[in-house]
Structure 1
Amino acid sequence: MAEKNKKYSLGKIITLVIILLIPGLLHLYLRQTGENIYKTLPYLGKEEIGSITKVQPFQLVNQDGESVNFPERASLTVVNFMHTDCEAFGNMMELAMDKVAKKFGKHPMVNLYSISLDSTDTPEVLKAHSDKYHLGETNWQFLTGNEKETSRIAREEFMLDGFRDTLNNEGIIHSPYIVLLDTKQQIRGYYEFYTEDEVDRLVGEMILLITEERQKRNE
């Protein structure tokens, strides 16, 4: 029986090692052998000749009332824009972010931000709103600030809609996209939150960028 348990434990360890190695080995194989199979993620954002645009630094406040200076560190960054009383999307965007946070919320190379476009979403309001997602020790934060500034950040930095509609009951309009940035704050992907395939694509492309970054650090 002891011998059988040893073999079972060894089998579990081998399986776990294989699962952890597959993404990196597959990525390396495709880069070395696939001329048209492997494609790096595109750089998105403003069209400027001879340069790749980056999301510029900004400062907001998180759900704990602490100032957050973006970028906090060189990391992959996942961002969505929201507000707590959104009737169009409800909390569906945060549920999609929660799915990502469950996989990467404690990853040392990842930061996640949900940025409110409503200045009445004070840190206290965001704290109550975010408690349902059990942020704990994760790298996911809810941010808030002056509406003009958060709207500017959405429109000018992330190329997304994000503003108060003064012609329609003062409601806030925002895009249904989650955004992925690389470690240099360059936009590498937009993903629709309400499509499961799109959220899965985000997860897969985060793994791809993490693998690329690790390879660069080891070169």
Structure 2
Amino acid sequence: MAERNKRYSLGKIITLVLILLIPGLLHFYLRQTGENVYLDLPYLGSPLSDTTQVQPFQLINQDSLLVRFPERESITVVQFMHSDCQQFGVYMNLAMARVAKKFGEHPMVNLYSISIDSNDTPSVLKEMAKQYGTEGTNWQFLTGSEAETSRIAQDEFWLDGFADHRNNSFIHSPYFILLDSKQRIRGYYEFFTKDEVDRLVGEMILLVTELSRENKVNL
């Protein structure tokens, strides 16, 4: 019995040592040989061309100021909308507000809500901006002629965005679009699922991290 108890105690000691030792060994190994592995985001856009880079354009923001895209080297999220969207406009803007809550004051991020309705004048967009608390953030509401905003939506971002005059309505995509610092499309995200918005936020963090490393600045 004594011999059995002795073996049992020895086993307990060995088990305890292993429990204490293995995490330390793993930590040492990871510090010596481990490296961060990041997911490579795809480059998306035109099926007819190798390039996915959105070309420069100009629109007017809610403060009646001319916005020349790209304004600066930044990670950009774009949505197409209009103020009278009864189908999902409010919910889409609330989803963008979630993104703005995290990145609205980030120096490497720009957020744009582009109206495809030319009746959405700067004063109309100003009221929308107040509703969603964009003051002091990098989230801007943009407007222009229907011809230009439709062209931007369809030719640059490869999404629906146009006036349906037969039905006296506007058609626009339910997707957010993520661009990298070179204005290349890196992802499309449905606004109406939390997982998709979370995926957008996560992939924005990835691109911001890459940009900060390129510029050798702190996040």
TM-score, with structure 2 as normaliser: 0.81
| Aligned position for 1:44 | 44
Alignment equivalent of 2:192, drawn from 191, 194, 202? 194
- What displacement does 1:133 show? 1.2
| Aligned position for 1:30 | 36
Where does structure 1 differ by over 6 angstroms across 4 or more consecutive aligned residues?
Answer: none
TM-score, with structure 1 as normaliser: 0.81
In 2: Cα distance, 1:80 partner to 1:66 partner: 19
Cα distance per residue 1:40-66 (max 9 Å; x no partner) = 0000001356x4321000000000000
Alignment gaps of 5+ in structure 1: 1-24, 32-37
| Aligned position for 1:77 | 76
Secondary structure, aligned partner of 2:98: helix
| Aligned position for 2:154 | 155
Cα distance per residue 1:67-102 (max 9 Å; x no partner) = 000000010000000000001113111101100000
| Aligned position for 1:13 | none
Which amino acid is the alignment partner of residue 53 of structure 2? Answer: K
Secondary structure, aligned partner of 2:198: helix
- What displacement does 1:137 show? 1.0
Instruction: Please show how residues 62-101 of structure 1 align to structure 2 within 5 Å.
Output: 62-101=61-100
- What displacement does 1:215 show? 1.9
Secondary structure, aligned partner of 2:135: coil
Secondary structure, aligned partner of 1:54: coil
Percentage identity across aligned positions?
Answer: 63
Q: Is the 8 A contact 2:129 2:135 kept in 1?
A: no
Alignment gaps of 5+ in structure 2: 1-30
- What displacement does 1:166 show? 2.3
In 2: Cα distance, 1:215 partner to 1:189 partner: 21
Which amino acid is the alignment partner of residue 207 of structure 2? Answer: L
Cα distance per residue 1:108-167 (max 9 Å; x no partner) = 000000000000000001101211111111000000000000000000000000011123
- What displacement does 1:199 show? 0.3
Aligned length: 185
